[in-house]
A and B are shown apart, each in its own frame.
Chain A
Amino acid sequence: MNDRTNGEHAVPPEQPDPGHGAAGPRGPGCGSGTRGAGADAASGHDPVPPAAVAPRSPGPDGSPGIFDKNLLDRCISCGFCLPACPTYALTGEETSSPRGRITLMRALETGQLPPDDPTLAEESSFCLGCRACETVCPAGVEYGSLLEQWRDHQWSGRDRPWIARLLMLLVSRPALLRLQGLVRRHARGGPGGRAGRPAAEPAAEPAAAPDQPVSLMLGCVERGLYPKVSRAVRELCPEVAVPSGQGCCGALHAHNGDSVTGAAMARALGEKLPGTVLTTAGGCAAHLAHHLGRDRVRELSEYLGEAGYAPAGQVTVDGRRARATLQDSCHLRNGLGVSRPPRELIAAVADYVELPGADRCCGAAGTYAMLRPEDSRAVLDPKLDDIGRLDVDYVVTVNPGCLRQVQQGLRRRRSRARAIHLAEFLALAGRPGRPSDGLPGPGEG
């Protein structure tokens, strides 16, 4: 079977990507919801440990306790965040800037704006949650955590977009995940496609945590949408275990107004995956790191970098070394501060070209591309222009949502460049005798 047709075309385009949105890896005291355990029971997934974050309670001044006050107070409205914000770039309006949104959050918290204010609803949804604002904020505002708290409140109950509700239900139910697994059984690789089979003898101890096993997180969406990614990881890192019965990490929930469930799911997954959790999705990595601790989580590029990955060969196109660029995952870069490792890995197997604005969101942003397709495209369009000017063979991504977004954009533009996940890209170099020549034509891959 042609590798390329496996999973990239056969999957409905409306598959979710929970691995991209807003999560907060930094600092304690963030990321809880106003609702209690009832939300967990209703979601119907495996029993999970109680959320480690206490629900916020009304403040002594009678404020509703929607936000963690210390987080909200951090912003001094200097406006340094404005140039970094993709939605502010689209509108030029204060309301769609991080500073303006924090002003709105404050108004919600103090009751100056009612909870059903339409601008509050619109802006909580318009924000991509890319957290680019955090990287330029000298005051250290944890915007991603504030956004989660805002959405917990704004999108509770019936106000949550139905697509988000559907996806959250889907990834919360092990049965549905298993069904997804059956459909995509071949994704896991190996005889019979049985997950949970420990890998063969580790080829090398990972430098990151020599005494710890390393467990590959398959990613509920990536497994369905891009099964080749985890298969490529197994080729690159045979030492990695792939435990069975993995659930969703909960990033989707956290980014869509249910951070209590999101936190609980992260912890539950942490218990199922022993040792270091290796992920191939920047969004999942940031969410898991926030709840399991930074030390326990490694995104693929970090892991390979620390393990001293050496490529078996190089990626070639028409007999020459491929030209490749990287689109950052917002959460990997802005949330976890990882930007060099994937670039170094690409440069090891191909001619690396920096994409101007690689650090700016591609517009995928988890469920965003489905909830707000027009805005999502408006964010993506200038990036596609930039990619066109680069004249590259590959646009490498490190998150399934970004992969899908860039892939669809390039297809629309009939670009000759191909979007590919880092794991697959490295695997192209690591499989001598399987030429990477013969790029897909327009409309393919």
Chain B
Amino acid sequence: MATDTGLARDLAALVGPGHVRTDAGALTAYGRDATPLFHALPQAVVLPGSTEEVAAVLRYATEHRVPVVPRGAGSNLCAATVPLTGGIVLVLTRLNKILEVSSEELLARVQTGVSTAALADAAAARGLLYAPDPGSRTVSTVGGNVATCAGGLRGLKYGVTRNYVLGLEAVLPTGEIIRTGGRLWKDVAGYDLTRLLTGSEGTLAVITEAIVALLPAPEESGTGVAYFDSLADASRAVADVISAGIVPATLEFLDRKCIAAVEEFAGLGLRQDAGALLLFGDDGAPPTVAANLARIQEVCADAGALETTLAEDVARADALLAARRCSLPALSRLGSLTILEDATVPRHRQAEMVDRIDEIAARHDLLIATFGHAGDGNLHPTCVLDPEDTEGADRAHRAFAEIFAAAIAMDGTITGEHGVGAAKLPYLADKIGADQMALLRRVKTAFDPAGILNPGKLGS
């Protein structure tokens, strides 16, 4: 491997000296993402300004066997962008142009350093909807969303990021620039590398451009809140809503601890005496939205809701959704070591899973709050600890291992939307089995023969 000064000089020749940083401060700042307990120092931080520069850096890295960790805004929660074995952190935030928004083709073409919110705003300005709606949308990049296959608040009705990726421009670790998929909904030529790269967490190629599908913006949307005595009650209401044949755009729940934390940040006037709340929302044609929201209110009332109310206007609805998006950071007010997880189970077993999480938390003497995308069965059990409490952190890890095992036993999975990264790699084999793990490694080798791309993550 090149020496650090040699590395800096070589990289500067590829992307310009102003876009390479090797000072200790920058290496420290880029040594972590939003995942607690994972840090490692890179040797250099590089901010390329074009796909060609990305290719040059990757070619160089393969030639010199330098690890490369691609990174967007670093908001992921699975340590996907922590440079575990040093090397280069390749920051893609300078690739931040929205290249095209087409009302005719219902698609957008963007560089992958664009923030999700910027893409959604550009679509909205044309009367279009970019459906994926991760909680981190204001900060996270489209590239990061694609790489981790981010989900979000509209997952129940609209699915996750992969359902909207039509085509990608990506750079292989060996420096070739490939274009997968394209501008078509129907395109079945060859292996679906677009889908393979979506969720590949920067281990197969560096995604530099994405073509994403847009939808006509729904005419109307509405949001409401239902309060319950317990999360288990709320979960049963969710099952009843779905059974009633309604697929709302949003169906999110927060437990008591989350309500308190969100309320302290957002001051929305949420009921503090409830054990859980269900945030529901729908969009579409006005009569349908009104009818669905009314029906959800009825079903919740029948399921024992303490109270249900509809947001009186768009501003109120937006405030409720925004508050839900910030549940995780708001929870950290309870204790600043906040370990959020992402277990998912089939919808009909959600109430069972909630009970199971509570039981595991109690047995390990941990504070685990839970919120999540109720309609998807996607739960975010979140353990809140004192940062000094290393013994507590050990207990938390044991508890989460049990939670993942429980999810898998219920035909669920270890991550519904955050990705595997380094944080959950130890559990991946339990989910997919040894044969598939071996296949993953062979796929990895086909893309990245030198093994330089995001080592310690998928395919490692």
Interface residues of A (CB under 8 A from B): 73-80, 82-83, 92-95, 100, 103-104, 107, 112-113, 117-120, 122-123, 136-140
Which chain B residue shows the least CB distance to A83? B138
Complex Cα distance, B329 from A313, in Å, reads: 48
Q: Which of B24, B96, B326 contacts A138 (CB 8 A)?
A: B326
Complex Cα distance, B55 from A280, in Å, reads: 55
| Besides A94-B29, A107-B28, 19 other A-B contacts (C-beta < 8 A) | A76-B329, A77-B36, A79-B136, A80-B329, A93-B93, A94-B30, A94-B91, A100-B29, A103-B28, A103-B31, A103-B32, A104-B25, A118-B25, A119-B23, A119-B25, A137-B329, A138-B265, A138-B329, A139-B333
Which chain A residue shows the least CB distance to B266? A138
Q: Does B115 belong to the interface (CB within 8 Å)?
A: yes
Complex Cα distance, B328 from A100, in Å, reads: 19
Known: A74-B336, A112-B28, A139-B329. A80 touches B94 (CB 8 A): no
Contact present for B74 and A79 (CB under 8 Å): yes
Contact present for B34 and A76 (CB under 8 Å): yes
Known: A80-B136, A94-B74. A120 touches B25 (CB 8 A): yes
Complex Cα distance, B33 from A94, in Å, reads: 10
A261, chain B: closest CB distance, angstroms:
28
B310, chain A: closest CB distance, angstroms:
25
Contact present for B25 and A77 (CB under 8 Å): no
Contact present for B330 and A77 (CB under 8 Å): no
Contact present for B265 and A79 (CB under 8 Å): no
Contact code string B10-23 (vs A, CB < 8 Å = 1, else 0): 00000000000101
Q: Does B218 belong to the interface (CB within 8 Å)?
A: no
Q: Does B26 belong to the interface (CB within 8 Å)?
A: yes
Complex Cα distance, B25 from A120, in Å, reads: 7
Chain B residue numbers with a CB within 8 Å of A138 are: 262, 265-266, 326, 328-330, 332
Complex Cα distance, B73 from A340, in Å, reads: 32
A115, chain B: closest CB distance, angstroms:
12
Q: How many residues belonging to B are interface residues under a CB distance threshold of 8 Å?
A: 41
Q: Which of A79, A83, A113 contacts B28 (CB 8 A)?
A: A113
Contact present for B73 and A82 (CB under 8 Å): yes
Known: A100-B29, A104-B28, A138-B330. A83 touches B139 (CB 8 A): yes
Complex Cα distance, B28 from A123, in Å, reads: 13
A sample of 16 inter-chain contacts (CB < 8 A) reads A73-B336, A74-B333, A75-B336, A76-B328, A76-B338, A77-B36, A79-B74, A92-B94, A94-B30, A100-B29, A107-B28, A113-B28, A118-B23, A139-B329, A139-B332, A139-B333
Known: A83-B139, A118-B23. A74 touches B29 (CB 8 A): no
Contact present for B332 and A74 (CB under 8 Å): yes
Known: A123-B25, A140-B333. A83 touches B34 (CB 8 A): no
Known: A80-B139, A83-B139. A103 touches B336 (CB 8 A): no
Q: Which of A83, A92, A104, A140 contacts B29 (CB 8 A)?
A: A104
Complex Cα distance, B333 from A82, in Å, reads: 19
Q: Does B449 belong to the interface (CB within 8 Å)?
A: no
Residues 130-159 of B contacting A (Cβ, < 8 Å): 136, 138-140
Q: Does B387 belong to the interface (CB within 8 Å)?
A: yes
Complex Cα distance, B21 from A119, in Å, reads: 11
Contact present for A79 and B29 (CB under 8 Å): no
Chain A residue numbers with a CB within 8 Å of B336 are: 73-76, 139
Residues 324-348 of B contacting A (Cβ, < 8 Å): 326, 328-330, 332-333, 336, 338
Contact code string B73-98 (vs A, CB < 8 Å = 1, else 0): 11100000000000000010110100
Which chain B residue shows the least CB distance to A94? B29
Q: Does B61 belong to the interface (CB within 8 Å)?
A: no
Q: Does B264 belong to the interface (CB within 8 Å)?
A: yes
Chain A residue numbers with a CB within 8 Å of B45 are: 94
Q: Does B47 belong to the interface (CB within 8 Å)?
A: yes
Q: Which of A73, A83, A104, A140 contacts B265 (CB 8 A)?
A: A140
Complex Cα distance, B30 from A373, in Å, reads: 28
Closest 3 CB pairs between A and B? A119-B25, A138-B326, A138-B329
Q: Which of A74, A78, A113 contacts B24 (CB 8 A)?
A: A113
Known: A112-B28, A120-B25. A79 touches B75 (CB 8 A): yes
Contact present for B26 and A95 (CB under 8 Å): yes
Complex Cα distance, B298 from A7, in Å, reads: 67
Q: Which of A73, A80, A94, A100 contacts B138 (CB 8 A)?
A: A80
Which chain B residue shows the least CB distance to A101? B29
Chain B residue numbers with a CB within 8 Å of A122 are: 25
Complex Cα distance, B265 from A113, in Å, reads: 32
Contact present for A139 and B28 (CB under 8 Å): no
Which chain A residue shows the least CB distance to B262? A138
Complex Cα distance, B261 from A23, in Å, reads: 24
A160, chain B: closest CB distance, angstroms:
20
Complex Cα distance, B28 from A119, in Å, reads: 10
Contact present for A80 and B326 (CB under 8 Å): yes
Known: A139-B330, A139-B333. A77 touches B32 (CB 8 A): yes
A431, chain B: closest CB distance, angstroms:
38
Residues 263-295 of B contacting A (Cβ, < 8 Å): 264-266
Contact present for B93 and A92 (CB under 8 Å): yes
Complex Cα distance, B26 from A107, in Å, reads: 11
A356, chain B: closest CB distance, angstroms:
13
Which chain A residue shows the least CB distance to B96? A92
A71, chain B: closest CB distance, angstroms:
10
Contact present for B34 and A78 (CB under 8 Å): yes
Residues 56-79 of B contacting A (Cβ, < 8 Å): 73-75
B175, chain A: closest CB distance, angstroms:
24
Complex Cα distance, B136 from A11, in Å, reads: 47
Chain A residue numbers with a CB within 8 Å of B264 are: 140
Chain B residue numbers with a CB within 8 Å of A83 are: 115, 117, 138-139
Residues 297-321 of B contacting A (Cβ, < 8 Å): none
Contact present for B26 and A119 (CB under 8 Å): yes
Known: A79-B136, A138-B265. A93 touches B26 (CB 8 A): yes
Complex Cα distance, B23 from A123, in Å, reads: 12
Q: Which of A73, A77, A118, A119 contacts B34 (CB 8 A)?
A: A77
A45, chain B: closest CB distance, angstroms:
35
Chain A residue numbers with a CB within 8 Å of B73 are: 79, 82
Chain A residue numbers with a CB within 8 Å of B326 are: 80, 138
B43, chain A: closest CB distance, angstroms:
16
Complex Cα distance, B261 from A443, in Å, reads: 51
B391, chain A: closest CB distance, angstroms:
16
Chain B residue numbers with a CB within 8 Å of A82 are: 73, 139
